[in-house]
Chain A
Amino acid sequence: MSINLEQAKSGQQPLPGQTAKTPAPANRLMSTRTGSKLVRDYWDNLFTARERGATVVWYNGAAINPILQAAGVEYCHGEAFGARLAAMHLEGPAQQAGESYGYINELCSYARTTIGCALLTQKGAADNVEMDEHPDIPPKEIMASRLPAPDFFVNAYAGCSTGQQWDEISYRLFNKKLPFFKISYPLLWGNKPDAGYIRGEEWETASRYVADQIYKLIEFLEFQTGRKFDWDALRESMFYIKKAAELRLEALDLCAARPTPAVFWDWIASIAPINFLPGTPALVDYFAEMKAEIEQRLKDNVSALPNERYRLMFDGIMNWNKVGWLANKFAEHDAAVICGRYTHTSFWNEPHFIDPEDPILGMAKHYLLCPFNHSAKNLGEVMLRDCEKFGLDGIVFHATRTCRSASNGQMVVAQMAQKKGLQTMFFEGDVADESFYKDEVLQSRLEAMLETIDVQRARIA
């Protein structure tokens, strides 16, 4: 069993990096394996969409999948596929294809990866798309090329101009021939004094604006498929998604316990299911299983780390090719990463907005709640609330080299956090390009932050 906070405060434990103990790997939840299987099955099924004669849409941004599901089309979330490739360390060929096509590596690596997939996927790519010779682009069997070519595109990217613009490129890569629908979102900036997280006139106006566009999307889908939209299917799907989202939030809240029974990395592992898996009983069962495992751990006094000494927040978009590695890195330092902006302030995170009988407005609100669609003021409000709720010592900011959207506001929020007595640190990495990650920087900054927390505690004691 881990030490408690009192032991940590009393200074009985050595400083980080000074122990001779063997590294303590994170005690990851077993139930996330169920999620991984669901996700793998989802992709395997999608890869055969063409053979099955299904209509395929490529989309980016918000979780419009319940709408696509109800329209009877199969869908590929571009970023999710990019993240999957990076997490499986298979992003190389797609990124090389992007580089050969002319992308500078400072460009969003999600976009580079996914557009690289489009280049590799495109039928007759060699004829239609001009790429420089690249010795490392392997033949088509590679995972990156397995995406079924789209029948049309939907862009629904909030919070980032690049997210919107990247589908303009996908559209052009397919010779401007495929239908393409776009949803636009205003940044939740807050000009007026009543503005704040999910409140104020601007929030309500923006929600209605997005909802109106979703109705237009449905008209577009009806036109493309030649079928009436299945509203009952949408209601049913949103019923299950709401249930799953509630279970996820309840499970997240259980991690306020000390020591925590689960960590941020477990939640990262379950992003894909809540982000794009169909709203079905299987999704509900998955999050019920996760919650039950956490409850069991609490009963059995099993913690995520054998020695939780520090409680931290991870801010920024995920560093997909480093998830397991980072999980162990923090665990080795007895640092429990309890929550994060990406996991806790996104993905149907305000399920009370969803009315399964009339779901569109609630869905629109969630689309606006992309964690990168907030002003720094909103972010500070939400993140500092979570720091208090989970009893955190500090925030680790992942300065995401090619994602300005996730990096916006971080330095401002760090200053807000410091004023509240929280410790902060930054490390540079990237969402899907590991060349930007510097291990020594993370190591030394993490150790410095943890030492400062110790000093702070000693002072208080």
Chain B
Amino acid sequence: MASSQKENEIIQSLADIAADPSAYASAWKQRTGGKVVGIMPMNFPGELVHAAGALPVVVQEDRATITLGRSLIYEFYCGYTRSLVDQSATGKFEGYDAFLIVDHCVALLGAIDAMRFEIPDTPIYLAQFTASMDEPWSPPQVRGRIDELRARLEELCGRKIADGDIATSIAAFNRNRGLLRRIYDLRRSGVAPITSRQMQALVKSAMVMDIDEHSARLEELVPLLEARTAEASRLPKLHLSGNFCHAPHPELLDMIESCGVVVVDDDLYTGYRYIATDVPADGDPAEALTRWYFNRNTNVPCSTRAQKSADWEGYLAKAVEKSGASGIIILIAKFCEPHMLYYPELRKELRRREIPHLVIETEHEGLPLEMLKTRVEALVEHIKRPVRSAEAV
């Protein structure tokens, strides 16, 4: 079999799982008899659930039109939270044994509270991680929440979680992240021109699959990609940024790439943000998970956290330098408060550095792709112009 065919086969098989996480979870449950635990974005340490012998599934947006969810949450919430509530109201969460959350976005908390009302028999546990990262008393608080989660998972799964179990899970997740980062490197360098749709499938499947099974497939994929000899594309390079908590719709990504650009990097949640940071492999494993939470935000800053020294705009500028991208498309999920609040800080810095950028608000229900295409084309034209102003498009 030709290697490109094999590559496509692997990616497609992962894309199929990513497209229907519930089917995968039910099959996994049947096969192992283990519990399926829904974990909410964006900071949950899946390692803990894995260490308890359960399957951690980062709960995904569902593409279905919001129906019953409308009577539980308003339309002015982000599509992800509306979808969560709708999925709970339409019986799509029946395969989950529990939901766990550590994040504090106000919309997300509202959504899981509505879920708790709708599916009262499914435990929904909030172990709120302190979002302000600067104070010396924040890490012990987060550590306390991790210990609570551990106890809760022990109760749920009916088994003790030993330190060694957590360390094994940390190693498994680090391996997986490392493999995905390798693919990112290959993509940045132009060796493996993976499309954004494909990249999303690779990360999204990592969020919902048994981690070792996923890594095994990546172990097959990476050498194939490494063996490629593709010449780096001459098309303008772009960086995709943002889109917290859920994956942007693939057709939007296709449209962007149809405008004569190549996407070389991203800091999307269902993308590089998810896999950028490893858990320290040394020391007490619960402590390592605590450190991971803080390290993540220094590594790839996120405006859902409150950290004086974190500098997302600076990160973006460096990422663009590293990948050679000549422009950025910022995807903001419509009604996403933490992103809307921080966007002007990004804009200020991108303007200062004369990095052209475009903002696209993403929505759950339908996107005006044709209209957006015109805007992306304008950005591309702007990038191609030999002398260009500092203005964003």
CA distance A106 to B343 in the complex (A): 13
Q: Tell me whether A212 is interfacial, beta carbon within 8 Å.
A: yes
Which stretch in A7-15, A17-25, A168-176, A280-288 binds the other chain?
A168-176
Q: Tell me whether A45 is interfacial, beta carbon within 8 Å.
A: no
Instruction: Please tell me if the beta carbons of A412 and B113 are within 8 angstroms of each other in the complex.
Output: yes
Q: Tell me whether A409 is interfacial, beta carbon within 8 Å.
A: yes
Select B308's contact among A168, A401, A405, beta carbons within 8 Å: A168
CA distance A326 to B307 in the complex (A): 40
Instruction: Please tell me if the beta carbons of A182 and B74 are within 8 angstroms of each other in the complex.
Output: no
Q: Would you list which residues of chain B between 332 and 365 have a CB under 8 Å from chain A? A: 332, 334-335, 337-338, 340-345, 347-348, 351, 361
Instruction: Please tell me if the beta carbons of A165 and B72 are within 8 angstroms of each other in the complex.
Output: no
CA distance A130 to B110 in the complex (A): 34
Instruction: Please tell me if the beta carbons of A187 and B104 are within 8 angstroms of each other in the complex.
Output: yes
How many B residues, CB 8 Å from partner? 49
Q: Tell me whether B11 is interfacial, beta carbon within 8 Å.
A: no
> Shortest CB–CB separation between residue A162 and chain B, in angstroms?
5
Q: Which residues of A contact B74 (CB under 8 A)?
A: 399, 407, 410-411
- Given the interface pairs A101-B344, A411-B71, A411-B114, the reply to whether A184 lies near B130 with Cβ below 8 Å is yes
CA distance A169 to B344 in the complex (A): 9
Instruction: Please tell me if the beta carbons of A404 and B77 are within 8 angstroms of each other in the complex.
Output: yes
Q: Tell me whether A186 is interfacial, beta carbon within 8 Å.
A: yes
Q: Which residues of B contact A106 (CB under 8 A)?
A: 76, 334-335, 340
Select A376's contact among B113, B125, B348, beta carbons within 8 Å: B113
Q: Would you list which residues of chain A between 35 and 83 have a CB under 8 Å from chain B? A: none
- Given the interface pairs A165-B338, A180-B308, the reply to whether A408 lies near B348 with Cβ below 8 Å is no
What is the number of contacts between chain A and chain B, taking CB atoms within 8 Å? 133
Instruction: Please tell me if the beta carbons of B338 and A102 are within 8 angstroms of each other in the complex.
Output: no
Select A161's contact among B73, B76, B117, B304, beta carbons within 8 Å: B304
Q: Which residues of B contact A191 (CB under 8 A)?
A: 125-127, 152
- Given the interface pairs A176-B308, A376-B117, the reply to whether A165 lies near B128 with Cβ below 8 Å is no
> Shortest CB–CB separation between residue B84 and chain A, in angstroms?
13
Chain B's closest residue to A209 (CB) is B141
> Shortest CB–CB separation between residue A96 and chain B, in angstroms?
14
Complex interface bits, B69-103 against A, C-beta within 8 A gives 1, otherwise 0: 00111101100000000000000000000000000
Instruction: Please tell me if the beta carbons of B341 and A404 are within 8 angstroms of each other in the complex.
Output: no
CA distance A169 to B131 in the complex (A): 15
- Given the interface pairs A161-B337, A165-B306, the reply to whether A409 lies near B110 with Cβ below 8 Å is yes
Q: Which residues of B contact A164 (CB under 8 A)?
A: 131-132, 306
CA distance A213 to B105 in the complex (A): 21
CA distance A182 to B137 in the complex (A): 11
Q: Tell me whether B195 is interfacial, beta carbon within 8 Å.
A: no
CA distance A169 to B343 in the complex (A): 10
Q: Which residues of A contact B295 (CB under 8 A)?
A: none
Q: Tell me whether B138 is interfacial, beta carbon within 8 Å.
A: yes
CA distance A106 to B71 in the complex (A): 21
Q: Which residues of A contact B131 (CB under 8 A)?
A: 161, 164, 184
Q: Tell me whether B106 is interfacial, beta carbon within 8 Å.
A: yes
Q: Tell me whether B107 is interfacial, beta carbon within 8 Å.
A: yes
> Shortest CB–CB separation between residue B304 and chain A, in angstroms?
7
Q: Tell me whether B319 is interfacial, beta carbon within 8 Å.
A: no
CA distance A170 to B74 in the complex (A): 29
Select B337's contact among A108, A168, A189, A376, beta carbons within 8 Å: A108
Instruction: Please tell me if the beta carbons of A102 and B107 are within 8 angstroms of each other in the complex.
Output: no
Instruction: Please tell me if the beta carbons of B347 and A102 are within 8 angstroms of each other in the complex.
Output: yes
Q: Which residues of B contact A162 (CB under 8 A)?
A: 106, 337-338, 341
- Given the interface pairs A102-B344, A216-B137, A411-B71, the reply to whether A189 lies near B128 with Cβ below 8 Å is yes
Q: Which residues of B contact A159 (CB under 8 A)?
A: 106
Q: Tell me whether A437 is interfacial, beta carbon within 8 Å.
A: no
Q: Tell me whether B134 is interfacial, beta carbon within 8 Å.
A: yes
Instruction: Please tell me if the beta carbons of A104 and B340 are within 8 angstroms of each other in the complex.
Output: yes
Instruction: Please tell me if the beta carbons of A408 and B130 are within 8 angstroms of each other in the complex.
Output: no
Instruction: Please tell me if the beta carbons of B345 and A165 are within 8 angstroms of each other in the complex.
Output: no
Q: Tell me whether A107 is interfacial, beta carbon within 8 Å.
A: yes
Interface centre among B72, B104, B306 (most CB of A within 10 A): B306
CA distance A408 to B106 in the complex (A): 8
Q: Which residues of B contact A269 (CB under 8 A)?
A: none
Q: Which residues of A contact B321 (CB under 8 A)?
A: none
> Shortest CB–CB separation between residue A211 and chain B, in angstroms?
12
> Shortest CB–CB separation between residue B296 and chain A, in angstroms?
17
> Shortest CB–CB separation between residue B18 and chain A, in angstroms?
28
Instruction: Please tell me if the beta carbons of B117 and A412 are within 8 angstroms of each other in the complex.
Output: yes
Q: Which residues of A contact B303 (CB under 8 A)?
A: 165, 168
CA distance A113 to B116 in the complex (A): 34
Instruction: Please tell me if the beta carbons of A103 and B344 are within 8 angstroms of each other in the complex.
Output: yes
Q: Which residues of A contact B114 (CB under 8 A)?
A: 376, 409, 411-412
Q: Tell me whether A198 is interfacial, beta carbon within 8 Å.
A: no
Chain A's closest residue to B130 (CB) is A184
CA distance A111 to B344 in the complex (A): 13
- Given the interface pairs A107-B340, A209-B141, the reply to whether A408 lies near B134 with Cβ below 8 Å is no
Instruction: Please tell me if the beta carbons of A161 and B335 are within 8 angstroms of each other in the complex.
Output: no
Instruction: Please tell me if the beta carbons of A130 and B304 are within 8 angstroms of each other in the complex.
Output: no
Chain A's closest residue to B114 (CB) is A412
CA distance A416 to B139 in the complex (A): 38
Instruction: Please tell me if the beta carbons of B341 and A165 are within 8 angstroms of each other in the complex.
Output: yes
Q: Tell me whether B121 is interfacial, beta carbon within 8 Å.
A: no
Interface centre among B71, B74, B114 (most CB of A within 10 A): B74
CA distance A162 to B105 in the complex (A): 8
> Shortest CB–CB separation between residue A224 and chain B, in angstroms?
16
Chain A's closest residue to B113 (CB) is A376
Complex interface bits, B130-150 against A, C-beta within 8 A gives 1, otherwise 0: 111011011001000000000
Q: Tell me whether B276 is interfacial, beta carbon within 8 Å.
A: no
CA distance A395 to B345 in the complex (A): 40
Q: Tell me whether A314 is interfacial, beta carbon within 8 Å.
A: no
Q: Tell me whether B119 is interfacial, beta carbon within 8 Å.
A: no
Q: Which residues of B contact A155 (CB under 8 A)?
A: 306
Select B106's contact among A104, A107, A404, beta carbons within 8 Å: A404
CA distance A108 to B76 in the complex (A): 12
Q: Would you list which residues of chain B between 272 and 319 have a CB under 8 Å from chain A? A: 303-304, 306-308
Instruction: Please tell me if the beta carbons of B341 and A169 are within 8 angstroms of each other in the complex.
Output: yes
Q: Which residues of A contact B132 (CB under 8 A)?
A: 164, 182, 184
Q: Which residues of A contact B341 (CB under 8 A)?
A: 103, 107-108, 111, 162, 165-166, 169
Q: Tell me whether B372 is interfacial, beta carbon within 8 Å.
A: no
Instruction: Please tell me if the beta carbons of B105 and A169 are within 8 angstroms of each other in the complex.
Output: no
> Shortest CB–CB separation between residue A147 and chain B, in angstroms?
19
Chain B's closest residue to A414 (CB) is B71
Q: Tell me whether B157 is interfacial, beta carbon within 8 Å.
A: no
Q: Tell me whether A272 is interfacial, beta carbon within 8 Å.
A: no
Q: Tell me whether B109 is interfacial, beta carbon within 8 Å.
A: yes
Q: Tell me whether A3 is interfacial, beta carbon within 8 Å.
A: no
Q: Tell me whether A87 is interfacial, beta carbon within 8 Å.
A: no
Q: Which residues of A contact B306 (CB under 8 A)?
A: 155, 164-165, 167-168, 182
Can you name 9 A-B pairs with beta carbons within 8 Å?
Answer: A104-B340, A106-B335, A107-B341, A164-B132, A165-B338, A182-B306, A186-B128, A404-B77, A404-B106
Q: Beyond A189-B109, A189-B126, A377-B116: 17 further Cβ-contacts under 8 Å?
A: A102-B343, A103-B340, A164-B131, A168-B303, A168-B306, A169-B344, A184-B138, A186-B128, A189-B128, A191-B127, A209-B141, A375-B113, A404-B76, A404-B335, A409-B110, A409-B113, A412-B114
B interface, CB within 8 angstroms of A: 71-74, 76-77, 104-107, 109-110, 113-114, 116-117, 125-128, 130-132, 134-135, 137-138, 141, 152, 303-304, 306-308, 332, 334-335, 337-338, 340-345, 347-348, 351, 361
Which 7 interchain pairs have the tightest Cβ spacing? A102-B344, A408-B110, A107-B340, A189-B126, A182-B132, A412-B117, A161-B106
